[in-house]
A and B are shown apart, each in its own frame.
Chain A
Amino acid sequence: MLTVTIFVPLLGALIVSLLPNHRERLIRRFALGTALVPLAALVLAWQRFEGTGGFEQVEAVPWIPTLGVGYVVGLDGISLPLAAMTALIFLAALLYPVDLRGRPREYFALFLFLETASLGVFLALDLFLFYVFWDLTLVGMYFLIGGWGHGEAARRSALKFFLYTLAASLAMLLAILGLYLSSDPHTFAMAEIIRQQPLPAAGWLSTLVFIGFALAFLVKAPLVPFHTWLPPAHVDAPAPVSAVLAGVLLKMGIYGFIRILLAMMPKTFERFALPLAILAVVSIVYGALVALAQGNLKRRIAYTSVNHMGYAMLGVAAAGAVLVGHEGARALALTGATVEMVAHGLITGALFLISGSVWTRSETYEIGQFGGLVARAPALTLATAVAAFASLGLPGLAGFVAEFQIFVGTFGVYPWLAAIGLLGILITAALFLQMLQQMFLGSLPERWQAWPELRPAEIAALGGLLVFVVLIGVIPAWLLDVIDSSARALVGP
């Protein structure tokens, strides 16, 4: 079932690449139909989810047994919500209208290919397979940014993205090899490595392996100072690609911390938890401050991603801060971090799609150019307001649920860091309120008098994402219970 979830988009991509480019409507509809399958399959998986705390719905086939590689997919309370969010964001992004440059076939084929790779990262339970999917997301993203981004600059940004994240993922490859070579018998199977806990808490090998993984995840997340690839990639990418980049790909970094470092090397994690937490707080404050200074809509949203991934990282660091004790607080922080990933995916996905709507109507991202848009586009205003308030953590919306849990949990472990981190929320509130006021309130400039309202496809895509933002905010239990089952298991009995 999970195999179907992962590979149906790839199959769709192959079929799409055989269709002629002038059948744009057919290609679009086919791609959308294909993207519905993984979402439906994950809804079913959600219903069958038992919450045992371990891996469920596992499908395993030997792949390269000589090297200890298996094709193993499965899920737990952490990966299920992330995979479901991935499927939802991809559907919304595919639905979103975008300038296809006369190449719908390539665009949709790559997009579906990227969906397979992204779902694979969250559902893989074998380090080799995980790495395969991880690298494939880079390839898909590289061609999407370069091919449909804004002009020549997009190609440079695409290459920068590729070089940065490939360098990071190769560091991870060496770390995976380190873990693999110290397991006995040699294996890439995650469950087996978690059982063996092959590396001791200290020692140069453990340290190097940890740093290799951490580097890859910090670049991907990204946390300060590894974030420099992110703003250009976002600004130059087309909106749906930005939505996927921020909504899905960034999550893989934090997810890696949980899935690999927290689960497979908790003793080494304990040694590094404080530096990671400090890095997280720096990202929170720095990301928020830099975002506040941006006049470019996309850059501003991009930097709030750095800020939000800081929250998630803070939660994960708090969860791994000690091996024994504070179980309740640490589980709360971890649950909060996972909710933050889901919430940020949905919210920022929506915000980037909105920035795409703004671009197609105005060809500019400069916040200062706008004003009073509420008069012409109430639906756009509403969507932006919901997403912005959710992002700044207004109670009743998804962001609040996440950040509340992260901070309550972290206060139990790192009270001072949590207190500093709260500053970030204040700054984010300021920057979003200022953005809303600047763009939608005040007087409408002459040139935007004919500003068109959102089209049905845009409303459907944004609505699909924001409904869940509200739903998680109002009745979070259905999500929290799923995540909690694994968070408790991960922080120890």
Chain B
Amino acid sequence: MGPEMLTSVEHLVPELALLAGSVVILVFALFAPRRWQSGAASIALGVLVGAGLLTVAMLGQPPTLTFFGTYAIDTPALLAKLLILGITAVTVVFSREWFRTDARHGEYYTLLLLSALGAILLAGAADLMELILAAVLSSATGFVLAAYHRQSKASGEAAIKYYLLGALANGAMLYGVAFLFGLAASTSFPALRVGLAAGGAGWVLGIAVALVMLGLAFKMAAVPVHAWMPDVAEGAPAPVAAFLTAAAKVGALVALARFMWILPEAGIAWRPLVAVLAAATMTLGNLAALWQDDVRRMLGWSAVSQTGYGLMALVALGRSELALPALLFFLVAYAVGNMAAFGVVVVLRGLSDRAAYRGLARTRPLLTAALVVSFLSFIGIPPLAGFTAKLALFGAAIDAGYAWLAVLAVANTVVSVAYYARVMGPAFFAPPGERPAILGPWAAVGTGVCAVGVVVIGLAAEPFLRWFQAAVLAS
């Protein structure tokens, strides 16, 4: 072990903590009696908090590539790490009560931590091999998590669709990586940046980039590999749906930004490519969401459209100073808003029929408030977090010369009001029905914290934006 190895290990302490934690939970789940199985949740929560604190301790570091230039330590990676850890922690809080009746669920938390680790590695990967590793780790665990309700057909169906699409996308990415290796004789990002720029334009580069993008598009549920998102949102256990719609997206958006950053603009027109991807994703997600009578499915499609908004920031990367701050702030706003919205579903024991939300404001006023706040934030109503995110995204797109994309995003935002209002309106206006049962106090607290977070982060955007303003992608 050389000295560089040792400093590199220091950089990976949060990731190693997650790995160790998942092993500990696995052993615990093997030997603990059934009535102790939910103890695994407490261990997982402890590990996540610990990893979070270790990450916070690394915040002041200058941006650098570590582990022999394969792993980035920079603001986007650290933020993604914190967000994914936070998302996972909230998921654990939801899951503890959700899986209460499942006699054998200790190892669920192992899978959850490993899936989080995969998403985190995705955000930091500065080497194509590592990118593949991260994508596969995050996907493979995700398939099992989606199928965790072993008796449920919907859960199984979601997992199968997720798996088939994932196998295709991950395989495509592997092909793309092989092409890129052939072009630049390296898999590390700094070497690729030099090698690809020297190679000039060519159809091989175009295909290679498209294939890698396909793999990442799958992780973030962008067109054309988005179809798993609504199925998972509907069929997977509700806490898993909350996790899978958020964690992988955070990791993949940062990963795609990092990947785009090494491409030679002269060799490949990646900017228009991402712009088209963004446009198609937000439009398709919104239009599909319009017809949903299943609230969870609607949230899944809405998550697809949110991916489209997030991609706007990547289009502006390197052209507008607002691009990275917009991306990072969007990730924060989306993660918190998504956990609040799915949290309401979790607290309502996975209630999915739109009609069952009628009159909810009178039977469950606080939950309705959380739902309304998260929806308004998705729409982009100020002063909620989602508004500042959209403002920055629109600003970045206009600044980068993509005003048409901003106009399209505005049109999409107007359309999106219709489907959010289809849930929000009856919940507030309709006469109350039967008071729906709730899952438990902890899930409710978790949801409440996220809903308050949506408001607070919107009002106190300054510290975040000041932090993100100085962000760079390590290279």
Give the B-binding residues of A (Cβ under 8 A): 62-67, 103, 106, 128, 131-132, 135-136, 138-139, 143, 146-147, 155, 158-159, 162-163, 166-167, 170-171, 173-174, 177-178, 180-181, 208
Contact = CB atoms under 8 A, between A and B. Distances in A.
Contact of B398 (A62, A136, A170, A178): A178
Given A139-B381, A158-B425, A162-B417, A174 B406 contact: yes
A180 B428 contact: no
Contacts of B383: 132
Q: Which 6 pairs of residues, A with B, have the shortest CB-CB distance?
A: A132-B382, A66-B465, A170-B410, A167-B414, A64-B462, A146-B429
Nearest to B376: A139
Contact of B417 (A147, A155, A163, A178): A163
A106 B361 contact: yes
Given A67-B465, A177-B394, A181-B395, A166 B361 contact: no
Nearest to B414: A167
A162 B418 CA distance: 9
Interface residues of B, number: 35
Interface string B325-363: 100000000000000000000000000000000000110
B395 A180 contact: yes
Contacts of A103: 362
A445 to B, nearest CB: 34
Nearest to A21: B362
A178 B395 CA distance: 8
A158 B426 CA distance: 12
Contact of B421 (A63, A106, A132, A162): A162
B400 to A, nearest CB: 11
Given A155-B429, A163-B418, A174 B407 contact: yes
Given A64-B462, A170-B413, A171-B410, A135 B429 contact: no
A482 B362 CA distance: 46
B439 interface: no
B423 to A, nearest CB: 12
Contact of A147 (B325, B387, B413, B428): B428
Contacts of B361: 106
B399 interface: yes
B54 interface: no
B413 A66 contact: no
A170 B361 CA distance: 28
Contacts of A166: 379, 413-414, 417
A66 B398 contact: no
B446 to A, nearest CB: 22
A136 B421 contact: no
B466 interface: yes
Contacts of A181: 395, 398-399
Contacts of A180: 395
Most buried by A among B394, B399, B410: B410
Q: Among the interface residues A163, A170, A171, A180, which one has the most CB atoms of the partner chain B within 10 A?
A: A170
A99 to B, nearest CB: 14
A167 B421 CA distance: 15
B381 A173 contact: no
B382 A159 contact: no
A448 B465 CA distance: 64
A146 B418 contact: no
A64 B465 contact: yes
A291 B276 CA distance: 47
15 contacts: A66-B462, A66-B469, A132-B387, A136-B381, A143-B428, A147-B429, A155-B425, A158-B425, A159-B425, A166-B413, A166-B414, A167-B411, A170-B413, A171-B410, A181-B399
B391 interface: yes
